[in-house]
Amino acid sequence: MELNPPLADWDPAAAIAEAKARIHVAEASCGRAGAGVRLLVATKTWDADAARAVVAAGGTLVGESRMQELAVKGPALAETGAEVHVIGQLQRNKAATAVDFASCIQTVDSLRLAERLSRLASEREKELSVMIQVNVSGEDSKAGVDPDDALALAADVQALPSLTVTGFMTIGLNSSDEGAVRAGYRRLREIRDTALIESERGKYSLRDAWELSMGMSGDLEWAIAEGATMVRVGTAIMGARPAV
Ligand SMILES: *Cc1c(COP(=O)(O)O)cnc(C)c1O
């Protein structure tokens, strides 16, 4: 597997500061100043040196998409003390790598996958955070559970040992149509709001499921305006990913 070294002229501290400033401006311009939207740096295709540099520069929440990459970079990331999340589609036969190196799996979209994660976490006497990935764009190519099934899945997953559902994640519509993209993000927020409200009423036990992981380099402002609590940024920090 080919992983790319950091670009020669890359300044991770400046890139991360710029991304954080963008988040702050976005928060302020939609009335969410001080909301504390977290920055997750998506380090897929970049090597362990690049990932280490990200953490050293203050990017202490890192997302990995491919388990073959996580197996390579995981030990280096663990040494940095970074918080590592899985943000890519996860096959059940790769779930062990995810549980070994990540504290949160954002891409749970089936009960079978959750059951496997639960078993692996229990064996390792670990508590694992998970998010429910929802396909809000309706595109066949996108992973994630149907929005109508998201709450039932979240409730079933929360009932499994060693797992805590901490929120919902989506990959937005890849479009320049602000209204269409934001409608998807709004849908995710409504699912999250229902989870919390119905947990207050005792229908679900999803009180910890407040997180909304949505928004990437190209549209994080729209996601923050719709309530994102975490944005996942790759190219805007790392530079353009070389073709893989
Ligand atoms: C790569 C990736 C990102 C970051 O995308 P950019 O457009 O490079 O910011 C965010 N979320 C997921 C799930 C990704 O795989």
- The CATH code of the domain that includes 229 is 3.20.20.10
- Stretch 23-29: mean pLDDT: 98
Q: What is the average per-residue pLDDT within 8-15? A: 95
Q: State mean pLDDT over 205-231.
A: 98
CB of 42 within 6 A of ligand 1: the answer is yes
Which domain, by its residues, includes 143? 12-238
115 lies in a domain? Answer: yes
Judge whether 91 lies within some domain: yes
- Residue whose CA lies nearest to ligand 1 atom number 6: 234
SS3 108: strand
The pLDDT score that the predictor gives to residue 179 is 98
196 falls within a domain: yes
The pLDDT, as a whole number, for residue 1 is 77
Would you say residue 243 has pLDDT above 80?
no
Report whether pLDDT(132) > 60. Answer: yes
Q: Whose CA is nearest to atom 7 of ligand 1?
A: 217
227 ligand 1 Cβ < 6 A: no
Q: Output 138 or 212, whichever has higher pLDDT.
A: 212
pLDDT above 90 as % of the chain: 94
Amino acid identity of residue 39, one-letter, is L
- Residue 244 covered by a domain: no
pLDDT at residue 183, rounded to an integer: 98
pLDDT mean over 127-131: 98
pLDDT, tens only, 100-110: 999 999 999 99
Distance 137 CA to ligand 1 centre (A): 16
* Residue 119 counted as domain residue: yes
DSSP E strand boundaries for 79-147? 83-86, 104-108, 128-133
Rounded to whole angstroms, the Cα distance separating 239 from 43 reads: 10
Model confidence at 244: pLDDT above 60: no
- Residue 149 is predicted with a pLDDT of 98
Q: What is the mean pLDDT of residues 137-149?
A: 90
- Please count the structural domains in the chain: 1
Banded pLDDT at 80 (limits 50, 70, 90): very high
Determine, yes or no, domain membership for 100.
Answer: yes
- Across the range 5-9, mean pLDDT stands at 91
CB of residue 171 inside a 6 A radius of ligand 1: yes
Residue 24 lies in a domain: yes
Locate the DSSP E strands across the chain. Answer: 38-42, 61-64, 83-86, 104-108, 128-133, 163-169, 211-213, 230-233
Q: Provide the whole-model pTM.
A: 0.97
135 neighbors 149 (Cβ within 8 angstroms): no
Say whether pLDDT at 142 is over 90.
no
Average pLDDT, the chain: 96
Q: In this structure, is residue 4 part of a structural domain?
A: no
